[in-house]
Structure 1
Amino acid sequence: MYYFIVNPKSRSGMGKCIWNNLRARLLQQNIEFRSYLTEHVGHATTLSRQISSLGTPDAPVTLVTVGGDGTIYEVLTGISDLRSVIFGYIPTGSGNDFCRGMALPKDPDAALTSIIRQDRIMEMDVPCISSEGSKYRFGISAGMGYDAAVCQEVLSTPFKKIFNRLHLGKLIYLFIALKKLMFLHLFSMTLHMDGDRIYHYDNVYFTAVMNQKYEGGGFKFCPDASPQDGMLDVITAEGMSKLKLLLMLPTAFFGKHVHVKGIHIFRCKSIDINTSAPVSVHKDGESGGISDKISIFLENNSLKVIMPMV
């Protein structure tokens, strides 16, 4: 039995069309499945909690997310016991950083084929972010500052749907990134890692804590990040002019930014981040509100993820 949690509104409504095609294929192949379409923010978490409770570590359920990167954190957050689930992912969003980092098929049909065959299973690290008294799991990255502020405005702008329908979704990110940078107020930040390493920076743009190499639609912010090494990778950008940051960002698509002065890369198992003023927070590209402190750590158990054949 396959359980599908589907976000029909992903990619500005294209998710529903993609799912209808996949559903027809499942029916044609007489594959046993149940599907659930999300109706509001947080619904995927509720559905995930209900479905995952049907499994056990000895008899896990196969839970497949059909949506964008932002749907992943909701599903991961809802899983009652990571050991009780085999996780599959079919991308219907525009960012595809999870597919990019995990080397999963970006084509929905190819992804479904891999899931049906269950070609191979990989154990993936699962980070957890604690902010303002709430905890969420995520699969890609979480962080504070400039990148989170861009994510939050992209999510709220009505132009995103228009640009996505024109297959120009990345342009809205670029436009808002430039706008945010122009009016951005920098802040001070303290990083406290693994209980004994403390770093303080003034004039910070952002810090991202990465489980994958990529975030933001292909920025290779932490080139050495791996979701299998039991470590979190951290990038902080600080102490540079806005023009320098603007010129640096394109190089991050290729991971060539790591030697730029003001870019700091760390590795840790847990991190507490405190800022001098409340700033934007994101988790897998979705809004995490505004806060002046977050904590991020790795769950004790990993998650079994369906992977394609090498």
Structure 2
Amino acid sequence: MNPKARSNRGMRIWGIIEKELKKEEVSYEVYFTEYPHHATDLARVVTEGGDYLTLVAIGGDGTVNEVLNGVVRLEQITFGYIPAGSSNDFIRDLHLPVKPEQALHNILHPKYYKNIHLGQITCGDTIRRFAVSSGIGFDAAICHEALKSRFKNFLNKLKLGKLTYMGIAFHQIVLCKPELMTLHIDGCKTFQFPRTLFLAAMNCSYEGGGFRFCPKANPEREALDFCIVHGLSKWKVPIPLLAAKKGHHTRFKGVDTLRCRKARIHVDTPLAVHIDGESCGFQTDLDIECSKETLRIIAGC
């Protein structure tokens, strides 16, 4: 449970959840995160014994990421999620309930399960899983800024947190410096994209608060979808960006998509990298792939 989710509204959501758990007389243990990546440490401790259990994350996409990176053996858990973040992109393709009471009911009385794959990113000595997406360039720079944005906290208090990424996006358009990007996929094909704004590696179809960058991405498939935006002048960027809310951006020149299981990415100048909206610093070389192992998740309808 991330008490600081959505600008410290997490404890209010926990109060709702706790009341329902007591009403249904459910046996459970709760762990509250206290610092960045604490959820990873907690999940590792909880799962290292090898017991089969139901593990539930309450927070945003970043909390989901931290929890899944701490799980020792994915095959030994059933994963449940109660969204409490600003964007909650993880729930969209899985059709999970938004309201805490409904999300909890879905977990306590499950009707549908899905076995989903996760993405994995390697940069230097760091290896991390991701559930929703990873990216390099413009979209990652947006995530970096959002993590420290007072504007995000202000909008969250007004229940308008989803506008955070849109506002920051226009700021980052001014700052961004497109780079030549080389992409090797599945060890057999090489592409070069001049003046690349960003590359998004998508396990799910949405990121950034509902931008459908890869409309055909499916976490149940053992493959990742990639969206590469390149060769556009800055004043043209907002047009496909806005169209991405409906997944219509792929019709524009300078927007390419492809699907593969493994990819190696290189840029000469270090660019911002994100993993499920969390910062992974600035990198020049990345290896991204879809895992063969699957995670059993309590899904919606």
1:127 and 2:122 matched: no
- Structure 2 residue aligned with 1:15, among 10, 15, 18? 10
3-state SS of 2:293 partner: coil
Please give the residue correspondences for 1:72-83 in structure 2 after superposition, counting only pairs within 5 Å: 72-83=64-75
- Structure 2 residue aligned with 1:185, among 177, 190, 202? 177
3-state SS of 1:192 partner: strand
Q: Distance in 2 between matches of 1:175 and 1:184?
A: 15
Deviation at 1:300, TM superposition (A): 2.3
**Contact 1:202/1:239 (CA < 8 Å) preserved in 2?**
yes
1:85 and 2:80 matched: no
Gaps of 5+ in 1: 1-5
**Contact 2:272/2:280 (CA < 8 Å) preserved in 1?**
yes
**Contact 1:63/1:87 (CA < 8 Å) preserved in 2?**
yes
Deviation at 1:16, TM superposition (A): 1.1
Deviation at 1:297, TM superposition (A): 1.3
Q: Distance in 2 between matches of 1:170 and 1:90?
A: 17
Letter in 2 for 1:105: P
- Structure 2 residue aligned with 1:257, among 233, 238, 249? 249
For 1:44-66, what per-residue CA distance to the aligned partner results, in whole angstroms no more than 9, with x for missing partners?
Answer: 0011111122344xxx2100000
Deviation at 1:172, TM superposition (A): 3.0
Aligned residue for 2:220?
Answer: 228
**Contact 1:55/1:85 (CA < 8 Å) preserved in 2?**
no
3-state SS of 2:31 partner: strand
Q: Runs ≥4 in structure 1, deviation > 4 angstroms?
A: none
Aligned residue for 1:39?
Answer: 34
Aligned residue for 1:147?
Answer: 139
**Contact 2:222/2:291 (CA < 8 Å) preserved in 1?**
no
Q: Distance in 2 between matches of 1:95 and 1:109?
A: 19
Letter in 2 for 1:163: L
Aligned residue for 1:100?
Answer: 92
Aligned residue for 1:3?
Answer: none
**Identity rate, percent:** 39
Deviation at 1:158, TM superposition (A): 2.2
Letter in 2 for 1:19: W
3-state SS of 2:159 partner: coil
Please give the residue correspondences for 1:137-286 in structure 2 after superposition, counting only pairs within 5 Å: 137-286=129-278
Letter in 2 for 1:24: K
3-state SS of 1:31 partner: coil
Q: Distance in 1 between matches of 2:265 and 2:123?
A: 10
Aligned residue for 2:44?
Answer: 49
**Contact 1:120/1:306 (CA < 8 Å) preserved in 2?**
yes
Aligned residue for 2:107?
Answer: 115
Letter in 1 for 2:3: P
Q: Distance in 1 between matches of 2:73 and 2:119?
A: 14
Q: TM-score, normalised by structure 2?
A: 0.97
1:291 and 2:291 matched: no
CA RMSD of aligned residues (A): 1.1
Deviation at 1:206, TM superposition (A): 0.2
Q: Distance in 1 between matches of 2:7 and 2:49?
A: 31
3-state SS of 1:301 partner: strand
For 1:19-62, what per-residue CA distance to the aligned partner results, in whole angstroms no more than 9, with x for missing partners?
Answer: 11101210121100000000000100011111122344xxx210
Q: Distance in 2 between matches of 1:133 and 1:43?
A: 20
Q: Which moved more, 1:293-302 or 1:63-72?
A: 293-302
Letter in 1 for 2:193: Y
**Contact 1:54/1:61 (CA < 8 Å) preserved in 2?**
no
3-state SS of 1:36 partner: coil
Q: Distance in 1 between matches of 2:54 and 2:142?
A: 34
Letter in 1 for 2:45: Q
